[in-house]
Amino acid sequence: MSNKNKSTHAHFSRRTFLGLSALSTASALGLTTVSLGTPGQAQASWFSRPWLAQPHKPEPIASHYSAIVVGSGYGGAVAALRLGEAGVDTLMLEMGMLWNQPASDGNVFCKMSSPDGRAMWFRDRTEAPLDRIFGLDLVNRNIEHYPGVLDRLNYPNMSVYLGRGVGGGSLVNGGMAVVPRRDLLERILPDVSTAEMYQHYFPKASAMLGVNSASRALLDSRYYRFTRVGQRTAERAGFRMVDVPGVYDFDYMLREARGQAPQSGLDQEVIYGNNAGKQTLDKNYLPAALGTGHVTLRAMTRVTGIRTDANGTYYLALETIDVNGTVTETREISCQQLFLAAGCVGTTELLLRARETGTLPELNDQIGLGWGNNGNFMAARGNRLLDYTGARQSGFPISGIDNWDDPRNPAFVEIAPLPTGFETWASLYLAITDNPERGHFSYDRAQDKAILHWAAHQSRPSYEMTTAVLDRINDANRTDYRRGLFAGNRFYADNFTYHPLGGCLLGKATDDRGGVRGYQNLFVIDGSLLPGNVGVNPFLTITALAERNMHHILKGSN
């Protein structure tokens, strides 16, 4: 076992065990509300077999809490844990389901190759990033209408992927836990001490999340032949390769590869959830928060509005739904401290709605600005006959091309898997580019939702930066791009992102610890704070920044 994995296990305390037990009991009983209290306080539908669950009427929760956290993703999980440790009576609200009860097939989540209702949030058909396999419609499938784990919000010229469920984006991302460059962090967060971040908060977040690296034995296995080919073809072009650490337990994956453990990360379990080795938030931060005894979690509950009174108390309008999407309860609850961690889109939408409808009229005009897609760009190349990439591939990247020092085309290009189950001779890349373009959200009163404004030409810098890298690889290897994977028979996709950032920028819409300007005790604690681009996969930065902000918030409140 690696030292990094040992540090992860050191955090598995009695408190975490108690929280995991509460989550397990709640899921088995079909509860939407979880705490260390007596099971049955919020009886819901039976989730053991999706698409047979019946509508439910949830039991009441308290009418007032000292603090409420909206969202259970990375920022929200940090906020709930640190509030609970401080003894603050806290309610955490999550609009998705609690995902840890097996369905009739014995699995909690479904595979990418055989999606069902568990795959996507109230869709009748999946909407995966890849549109086709060599021009054939082999990717997306018709599915049951159900509150599945992945959502895709489609705006003009840009779609945003989001996790829906207890654990948020940790349930559906590729788990790449990369620390950003220090010079970039200093540029985008000038009011944040980078010494604090790199000496304390990045290590703290990494330990809690279980960040570790793949061994040489795993890299040499057949499941990472696609990585070795990607490295070899990039090195022929003179590029520098870097390891990509992750939150998948790579010791477990090595046992998968050796036939010593059930296959999960090696069996197409990624974007629709993972059943075994991935260290999602419901295995670390969230059970630790519940284990404090001061945090209550309620799932399947959406916040639709926020208002405040003259005393500074916040009131939240709630809708609780069942697995059919039917609203089973509407009510209002209150709190003294409110932490918004509903994600870039959700948090921004809540604040825009409150500003434009007059329930929080003192919100400034910076709300909704500074959005970016982290420079995301996906592309595919074809390889020569001897550079076959493997029919069986891990779903979790472990290597990337570091071209960030290129002054004209700065990019971090990860070698992504293409786990089709058959040989493709194709290399897939997920690039994070230093795209300076920014979009913004506005509130559409008629639709009662936030609309993202992003023009097609704003993705052009990402195209140019990524193809500058891949053109060199093609020239060095005498290869070409591979078409037939993306819409329109293109070799690339620049119209979706897994890394939405911005909308409530730190130091502009908020103060330097996430306090929303114009109001006391109202905080943003998620990726909305980051200005559009962090140069790497952002969840580790979101977690570390949340740790930093919560430390200063709680220190200031004592």
Q: For residues 332, 19, 202 and 556, what is the CA-based torsion angle, rounded to 10 degrees?
A: 50
Q: Is 432 in a helix, a strand, or coil? A: strand
Q: Which residues contact 104 (CB under 8 A, 6 or more apart)?
A: 48, 49, 50
Paired tokens of 182? 């220090």
The yes-or-no verdict on residue 415 having pLDDT over 60 is yes
For residue range 255-265, what is the model confidence (pLDDT) as tens digits? 999 999 999 99
When pLDDT is cut at 50, 70 and 90, the band that residue 74 belongs to is very high
The yes-or-no verdict on residue 550 having pLDDT over 80 is yes
CATH of 3-101+279-371+501-557, one of 3.40.50.1100, 3.50.50.60, 3.30.70.120, 3.30.70.580: 3.50.50.60
Scan for tokens 């549109």, then name that residue. Answer: 131
The yes-or-no verdict on residue 191 having pLDDT over 60 is yes
Domains of the chain, by residue range, sit at: 3-101+279-371+501-557
Q: How many Å apart are CA 15 and CA 237, to the nearest integer?
A: 50
Active site residue 196: no
How much is the pLDDT for 9?
A: 40
Paired tokens of 452? 């993202």
The yes-or-no verdict on residue 43 having pLDDT over 70 is no
For residue range 156-166, what is the model confidence (pLDDT) as tens digits? 999 999 999 99
Catalytic residue among 269, 414, 437, 547: 414
Whether this model's pTM surpasses 0.85: yes
**Helix residue ranges, H only, 178-293:** 182-188, 194-196, 202-209, 216-219, 225-236, 250-257, 285-291
The yes-or-no verdict on residue 497 having pLDDT over 60 is yes
How much is the pLDDT for 26?
A: 62
The yes-or-no verdict on residue 299 having pLDDT over 80 is yes
How much is the pLDDT for 38?
A: 35
The yes-or-no verdict on residue 58 having pLDDT over 80 is no
For residue range 430-452, what is the model confidence (pLDDT) as tens digits? 999 999 999 999 999 999 999 99
Active site residue 499: yes
The yes-or-no verdict on residue 291 having pLDDT over 50 is yes
The yes-or-no verdict on residue 390 having pLDDT over 50 is yes
Share of the chain above pLDDT 70, in %: 91
Q: How many Å apart are CA 192 and CA 199, to the nearest integer?
A: 13
- Determine contact, residues 147/121, Cβ cutoff 8 Å: yes
When pLDDT is cut at 50, 70 and 90, the band that residue 120 belongs to is very high
When pLDDT is cut at 50, 70 and 90, the band that residue 373 belongs to is very high
Bridge partners for 523 per DSSP: 339, 515
Q: Which helix (H) or strand (E) holds 145?
A: none
Q: Which of 303-312, 533-542, 549-558 has the lowest mean pLDDT?
A: 549-558
The yes-or-no verdict on residue 56 having pLDDT over 90 is no
**Helix residue ranges, H only, 68-201:** 74-85, 182-188, 194-196
Q: Which of 3-12, 57-66, 71-80, 110-119 has the lowest mean pLDDT?
A: 3-12
CA triplet 159, 465, 499: central angle to 5 degrees? 30
The CA-to-CA distance between both ends of the chain, in Å, stands at: 40
| Sheet of 376-382, strand order | 241-243, 399-402, 411-416, 426-433, 376-382, 492-493
Catalytic residue among 499, 547, 551, 552: 499
When pLDDT is cut at 50, 70 and 90, the band that residue 427 belongs to is very high
> Which residue type, as a one-letter code, is found at position 153?
L
Question: What value does the mean pLDDT take over residues 71-99?
Answer: 97
Question: What value does the mean pLDDT take over residues 309-327?
Answer: 96
Q: How many Å apart are CA 431 and CA 420, to the nearest integer?
A: 21
Question: What value does the mean pLDDT take over residues 123-140?
Answer: 86
How much is the pLDDT for 19?
A: 73
Paired tokens of 220? 């040499």
When pLDDT is cut at 50, 70 and 90, the band that residue 50 belongs to is very low
Share of the chain above pLDDT 90, in %: 84
How much is the pLDDT for 44?
A: 34
Number of Cβ within 10 Å of residue 380's Cβ equals 23
- Determine contact, residues 35/297, Cβ cutoff 8 Å: yes
Q: Which residues contact 477 (CB under 8 A, 6 or more apart)?
A: 233, 236, 237, 383, 384, 387
| Sheet of 150-155, strand order | 150-155, 158-163, 496-497
Q: Do the strands 90-93 and 399-402 form a parallel or antiparallel pair, or are they unpaired?
A: unpaired
- Determine contact, residues 316/67, Cβ cutoff 8 Å: no
**Residue among 85, 61, 134 at smallest CA distance from 292:** 85
Averaged confidence pLDDT in the chain: 91
